[in-house]
Amino acid sequence: MEYQKIRPQDINYLISVTSEDRVYYGDQINEDYSHDEMQEYGRFMPEVVVEVMTTEEVSKIMKYAYENNIPVTPRGSGTGLCGGAVAIHGGIMISTLKMNKILEIDEENLMAKVQAGVLLMDFNKAVTEKNLFYPPDPGEKSATIGGNVMTNAGGMRAVKYGVTRDYVRGMTIVLPNGEVIETGGKVIKNSSGYSIKDIMIGSEGTLGIVTEIIVRLLPLPKKAVSLLVPFPSLDKCIETVPFILRSRSIPTAVEFMQREVIEAAEEHLGREFPDKSADAYLLLSFDGNSKEEIEEIYDEVAQLCLERGAIDVLISNTQERHESIWSTRGAFLEAIKGSTPEGLDECDVVVPKNKVADFVKFCAQLEKEFGVRIRQFGHAGDGNLHVYACKDNLPDEEWKPKVAAIMERMYEKAIELEGQVSGEHGIGHAKIGFLDESVGDVSMEIMKGIKKAFDPKNILNPGKVVKY
Question: Could you say whether residue 151 binds its own copies (CB under 8 A)?
Answer: yes
- Work out how close the CB of 460 gets to its own copies at its nearest, in angstroms, rounded to a whole number: 13
Question: Could you say whether residue 149 binds its own copies (CB under 8 A)?
Answer: no
Half-sphere exposure of 333 (CA within 13 A, CB side): 18
Number of residues that bind its own copies (CB under 8 A): 89
Among the listed residues 219, 274, 338, 401, the single contact to its own copies using CB under 8 A: 219
Rank residues 230 and 378 by Cβ distance to its own copies and give the closer one: 378
In three-state secondary structure terms, 464 is coil
Question: Could you say whether residue 111 binds its own copies (CB under 8 A)?
Answer: yes
Angle 122-108-142 (CA atoms, 0-180°, nearest 5)?
A: 10
How many separate helices (H) and strands (E) can be counted in the chain?
14, 18
Rank residues 366 and 444 by Cβ distance to its own copies and give the closer one: 444
Among the listed residues 55, 73, 203, 328, the single contact to its own copies using CB under 8 A: 203
Helix (H) or strand (E) holding 102: strand 102-106
Stretch that binds its own copies, among 148-156, 262-270, 305-313, 324-332 (CB under 8 A): 148-156
Among the listed residues 245, 331, 363, 430, the single contact to its own copies using CB under 8 A: 245
Stretch that binds its own copies, among 36-44, 89-97, 185-193, 362-370 (CB under 8 A): 185-193
Give Cβ neighbours of residue 296 (< 8 Å, ≥ 6 apart): none
Residues within window 81-100 making contact with its own copies, judged by CB under 8 A: none
Rank residues 57 and 424 by Cβ distance to its own copies and give the closer one: 424
Contact 386, 378 (CB under 8 A): yes
Rank residues 16 and 289 by Cβ distance to its own copies and give the closer one: 289
CA distances 111 to 33, 157, 325, Å, are: 32, 19, 30
Contact 411, 434 (CB under 8 A): yes
DSSP conformation letters of 272-324 = --S--S-SEEEEEEEEESSHHHHHHHHHHHHHHHHHTT-S--EEE-SHHHHHH
Determine how many CB atoms are found less than 10 A away from the CB of residue 163.
25
CA atoms of 210 and 226, how far apart (whole Å):
35
Give Cβ neighbours of residue 272 (< 8 Å, ≥ 6 apart): 266
Rank residues 311 and 444 by Cβ distance to its own copies and give the closer one: 444
CA atoms of 141 and 225, how far apart (whole Å):
21
Among the listed residues 40, 45, 124, 185, the single contact to its own copies using CB under 8 A: 185
| 7 to 26: interface string for its own copies, x by CB under 8 A | --------------------
Rank residues 278 and 360 by Cβ distance to its own copies and give the closer one: 360
Rank residues 90 and 242 by Cβ distance to its own copies and give the closer one: 242
Contact 336, 264 (CB under 8 A): yes
Measured between its terminal Cα atoms, the distance across the chain in Å is 9
Among the listed residues 196, 225, 304, 335, the single contact to its own copies using CB under 8 A: 196
- Work out how close the CB of 10 gets to its own copies at its nearest, in angstroms, rounded to a whole number: 25
Stretch that binds its own copies, among 251-259, 337-345, 392-400, 449-457 (CB under 8 A): 449-457
Specify the pairing of strand 48-51 against strand 92-95.
parallel
Among the listed residues 127, 156, 171, 201, the single contact to its own copies using CB under 8 A: 201
Question: Could you say whether residue 186 binds its own copies (CB under 8 A)?
Answer: yes
Rank residues 242 and 309 by Cβ distance to its own copies and give the closer one: 242
CA atoms of 354 and 239, how far apart (whole Å):
9
Among the listed residues 92, 120, 207, 209, the single contact to its own copies using CB under 8 A: 207
Check residue 418 and give left, alpha or beta (phi > 0: left; psi -120 to 50: alpha): left
Question: Could you say whether residue 251 binds its own copies (CB under 8 A)?
Answer: no
Rank residues 232 and 242 by Cβ distance to its own copies and give the closer one: 242
Among the listed residues 29, 97, 162, 312, the single contact to its own copies using CB under 8 A: 162
Residues within window 403-442 making contact with its own copies, judged by CB under 8 A: 418-427, 435, 438-440, 442
Question: Could you say whether residue 303 binds its own copies (CB under 8 A)?
Answer: no
